[in-house]
């Protein structure tokens, strides 16, 4: 009898855990499994990104690829909830808002860390 109750409890727990695992919302961008219609590549060296600004189009799935060319860096674009790091990593997002979004280095990489800032411009 006790065993049956324990079994029931653990399966209820599993269902709750599974429910929590899915979902999640985003603000400035939608995460997407869509085929990207454009792509930008952001390359990091010590201590800058390869461009001062990157341009993408609103409502268009874009594949954002981040590459470490020199050193160990990452990017974070808080406005689009994008965070990438490692040798080469990418993510497809659909920007839902036009405007300028800050791209910053997400890893404490050394003396030039605070200067590693670029802009992502989402065009209407």
Residues in contact with Cu ion by the rule CB under 5 A? 105, 107, 109, 113
Q: What beta strand segments (E) does the chain contain?
A: 29-31, 38-45, 48-49, 53-57, 62-68, 74-77, 82-85, 88-95, 99-105, 117-123
**Nearer to Cu ion (CB atom), residue 56 or residue 75:** 75
CB 95 within 8 A of CB 113: no
| Closest distance of CB 74 from Cu ion, Å | 7
CB of 116 to Cu ion, least distance (A): 5
- Report the residue number, 59 or 70, with the smaller CB distance to Cu ion: 70
Nearer to Cu ion (CB atom), residue 29 or residue 105: 105
Calpha distance 60→36 (Å, rounded): 8
Distance of closest approach, residue 58 Cβ to Cu ion, in angstroms: 28
């Amino acid at each position: 009898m006790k065993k049956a109750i324990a079994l029931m409890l653990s399966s209820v727990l599993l269902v709750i855990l599974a429910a929590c695992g899915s979902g999640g919302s985003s603000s400035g961008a939608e995460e997407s499994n869509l085929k990207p219609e454009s792509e930008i590549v952001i390359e990091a060296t010590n201590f800058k990104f390869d461009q001062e600004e990157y341009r993408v189009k609103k409502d268009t799935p874009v594949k954002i690829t981040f590459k470490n060319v020199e050193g160990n860096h990452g990017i974070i674009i808080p406005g689009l909830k994008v965070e990438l790091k490692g040798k080469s990593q990418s993510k497809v997002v659909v920007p839902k808002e036009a405007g300028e979004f800050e791209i910053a280095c997400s890893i404490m990489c050394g003396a030039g860390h605070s200067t590693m800032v670029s802009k992502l411009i989402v065009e209407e």
